[in-house]
A = this chain, B = another copy of it.
Amino acid sequence: MPSFKTSFRVSWVDTDSAKIVHFSNYFRYFEKAEEEFYRKLGCNFDDMAEKYGIILPRVEAYCHYVSPLKFNDLVEIELSVKELREKAVKYWFKVYNKQNGRLAAEGYIVVVAADRNLGGAVKIPKEIAEKLKSYMEF
């Protein structure tokens, strides 16, 4: 099983006047899953900056909304590595309503590795790339 999973409850503040999670918050959910994923890999955004001098700007983000989430719903996000290039990685996210197993949304984020000071794209550190590889879908 090459994917990473994390769960949490929908907060009241995540919802809007339609009584559903606001569409922009799915991107926050994606990133939250990515943060947990990095913690599991044993590093985080700050470590990347300090240890490797690398920041991870987002270059693309996409979401397809399938079935709305509401306040208090138990959400499960599944993260997998869809593409791994020298200087970029594409994460794929599936967002489920864990109570009924229904897919709520899916989408992706493309992240590039960039030099912390110069800004230009750089190679993803080998150590990190190895770890990411083990979460690739085949």
Residues of A within 8 A of B (CB): 9, 11-13, 15-20, 22-25, 27-28, 31-32, 35-36, 39, 44-46, 55, 57-65, 68, 70-72, 109
Contact = CB atoms under 8 A, between A and B. Distances in A.
Chain B CB within 10 A, most for which of A31, A46, A61, A109: A61
Nearest to A60: B64
Contacts of A62: 60-63
Contacts of A36: 9
Contacts of A28: 11, 13, 24
Contacts of A13: 16, 22, 24, 28, 31
Nearest to A64: B60
